A = this chain, B = another copy of it.
Amino acid sequence: MVLRLSSLFLRTLREDPAEAEVASHKLLLRAGYIRRAAPGIYTWLPLGLRVLRKVEEIIREEMASIGAQEVHFPALLPKEPYEVTNRWTEYGDGIFRLKDRKGADYLLAPTHEEMFTLLVKDLYSSYKDLPLSIYQIQNKYRDEARPRAGLLRGREFIMKDSYSFDIDDDGLEASYQAHRGAYLRIFERLGLNIIPVAATAGAMGGSKSEEFLHPTAIGEDTFVRSAGGYAANVEAVSTVPPAEIDFSTAPAARVLDTPATPTIATLVDAANTIAPRSAGPWTAADTLKNVVLAVDLPTGERQIVVVGLPGDRAVDLKRIEANIGTYLPTAGEIGVEAANAEDLEKHALLVKGYIGPGLSLDAAVLGSEGSSKLLYLVDPRVVSGSSWITGANESGKHVFGLVAGRDFGWDGTIEAVEVRAGDEAPDGSGPLEAARGIEMGHIFQLGRKYAQALDLRVLDRNGKLAVVTMGSYGVGVTRAVAALAESNHDDKGLIWPRSVAPADVHIVAVGRGEEIFAAAQKLADDFEAAGLEVIYDDRPKVSPGVKFSDAELIGVPTILAVGRGLVDGAVEIKDRATGEAENIAVSDAVQYVLSTAGR
C-alpha cells in the first residue's frame, strides 16, 4: 500500500525536541518515527513501526536459518521462578515489581532464563530431544536509574532473546557458535558495523561470553582494541603477566624509616632520597600499593578484601567486580567500593598509608593465612620473584626489596587495574587503544547454573539423569533501530540502510499541475506493482522546499521528484546517502530503482 503523506499519521518537526540529546533520538522524534510516552518508554508511529518490523524480520530469518524456533512468553511473570535463582533479590531496584489483587508478587520480566528453562523442563525429558534453540521477540522491562538517549536505554524495550539447550559442553559450544554466526549475519544485513568483544558473564553466571558492540562515540560501553584485531570489554581484558624472576640471588628485604609517606608520590621521593638505586631512580611502578576494598555480598554481608597492585596503576572497581566472584563465598550480584573509615577501624592491623603483605612468609599480615585473615589478591604483574617497595604495617615505615613468592604470598590474582592505552593485547596483536560502543547483542555460555537451580535434567545416552547446559543470546531490537539511526544520518536527517528503510522510494510531486500529480500517482502504483515500497508526497498545498526537507529528514534511500522535467518525459532520482541526482526517463524509473535496490 502506497503511503500517502496527505493521510499518513505523521508530523515532522522543524526543531530539535528539548528532550533529546543524541542525534538518533532527535531525528527519530523529528521525522515522526517515535514519541515519548514516559521516561524511557516510547510509542511507535507508523514509519517507526515499519523499520522495527523489518529489523525483527531479519532477526527471525537468521534465527530460522540456525533452526531456532520462535515462542512467546508473557511479560508479566510470577515471582517464584526468579526466587529459585535468587534473581528476584539480585535485581534490586532494577526491575519493576507489582502485586495482583490477591497480593501475589509479580515482576515485569527483564530477561526470561527461568521461564525458558522451566518450559523445556515441562516439555522435554531426553538427550534425544536436544539440541534445542528457542527464542522470542518480546517486550522487556528494566527500571533503569537513568533511561537515556531515547531508544538506546529504555525502560520498556524489545529484545530478541534465545536460549540453547544441550546435553554436553560440545553441544553448547556448537549452539553458541551457530548463534555467533547468526548474529554476525544479522548485523551485516542490518548494515550495522559490529565488533564482537570478549566479555565477562557478570550477573548472568556462566563462562564464555561475547558482546557485539557497535562502535560509536555516544556508546555507554568502553572497550579496548588492538590494530591486530583483538577487541574486548575492559572488564574482560586479561593482563599479559611478565615472566617470573629467579630470586635465588636477590638481597634480603630491609625495613627503612619513611616518615610522612602515606602516598605513592611521597614514597617514591623518599625512596630516591634515602635509598637511591644505581639502575636509575625508583618510580611508582616499583612500589606495591595495597588497596583495601569492601565487597557487598548478595547475602547483605560486607567483606573486606585487600588488592595489591603496582603503584603506577589505578584500581578499576568494575574490573574487580567482574572478576572477584570466584574468590567470594556466594554467587550473585555484588558491589565493590573503597573501604570506608568504619570498615578500616575494625581491622587494627591495617595502618593507613603503610599497609603491606608482611615482612616474611612466616609473618604474613595480608591473606587468609595472614594475621589479618583478610583475602589478599594481587594484580597479575606481581609475579614470583618481582621485588617491591611496600608498606611495613607500621606508621612511617616501608620495606624495600620485598620479593613476591619469597617474602610474601597471596590468595590469588585478579584483574584489578585500569587498562591503559598502550597496554599489550593478551593475544600479542599489539598495543590496546580505548573505544566506545553500544552493546547490540550479547551471547553467553550460561552452562548449568539455571538448569541446576530449576532442576532441568534429561536422560542421557546411558539412561541417567544429566543436567542440561544452556546458552543465552540477546539482541536489542529497539536499540538496533536507534543505533542504525545514530550511524546513518547527516545534518538533513536520517539515511536508512535499504534493508530496514520504511520504504524503498519517496516520490515527491513538485508543482501544482494536475499532470504532475497524475504522473506521480502512476509511478507510485508502478513501483508498488514492481514490489517496491513507496512513500508518495501527494500533499497539494505544500511547497517543494518543505517536501524535499521532509523527504531528507525521513531518510528513504531513493528520492524521486516529479516536476518540471515531466514535459520532457523525465524525473529526477536522488540517492539520499550520496546526494547524487540524475534525470531519468519516466519509462525507465521503475527499472532504475529496482536495480538500485538490488532486486
Contact = CB atoms under 8 A, between A and B. Distances in A.
Interface in A68-110: 69-78, 93, 96-98, 100-101, 106, 108
A235 to B, nearest CB: 25
B35 A122 contact: yes
Contact of A43 (B71, B78, B124): B71
A122 B11 CA distance: 9
A566 interface: no
State the copy count for this chain: 2
A124 B7 CA distance: 11
A124 B45 CA distance: 13
A46 B60 CA distance: 13
A11 B123 contact: yes
Is the interface on chain A under 10, 10 to 19, 20 to 34, or 35 or more residues? 35 or more
Contact of A97 (B52, B98, B119, B132): B98
Contacts of A35: 119, 122
A232 to B, nearest CB: 31
B43 A115 contact: yes
A73 B119 CA distance: 29
Contacts of A115: 37, 43
Nearest to A76: B156
Nearest to A3: B69
Interface string A493-518: 00000000000000000000000000
Interface string A34-74: 01011001111110010010000000000010010111111
Contacts of A100: 96, 143, 155
A348 interface: no
Given A44-B72, A96-B98, A38 B156 contact: no
A247 interface: no
A10 interface: yes
A10 to B, nearest CB: 7
A145 B101 contact: yes
Nearest to A165: B9
Interface in A114-160: 115, 119, 122-124, 132, 134, 139, 141, 143, 145, 155-156
A417 to B, nearest CB: 33
Contact residues of A: prevailing secondary structure: mixed
Interface string A165-192: 0000000000000000000000000000
A64 B7 CA distance: 13
A326 to B, nearest CB: 31
Contacts of A155: 76, 100
A8 interface: yes
Nearest to A9: B69
B38 A78 contact: yes
A101 B106 contact: no
A252 interface: no
Given A43-B115, A76-B156, A49 B71 contact: yes
A160 to B, nearest CB: 14
A274 interface: no
A78 B37 contact: yes
Contacts of A93: 101
Contacts of A97: 98
22 contacts: A8-B69, A9-B123, A35-B119, A35-B122, A37-B77, A37-B115, A38-B74, A38-B76, A38-B77, A38-B78, A41-B77, A43-B71, A43-B72, A43-B73, A43-B74, A44-B71, A44-B73, A46-B70, A93-B101, A98-B98, A100-B143, A100-B155
Given A11-B124, A37-B77, A96-B98, 16 more contacts: A9-B69, A9-B71, A9-B132, A32-B123, A35-B122, A37-B74, A38-B74, A38-B106, A43-B72, A43-B119, A46-B69, A46-B70, A74-B156, A75-B75, A93-B101, A101-B143
Interface of A: 1, 7-11, 32, 35, 37-38, 41-46, 49, 52, 64, 67, 69-78, 93, 96-98, 100-101, 106, 108, 115, 119, 122-124, 132, 134, 139, 141, 143, 145, 155-156
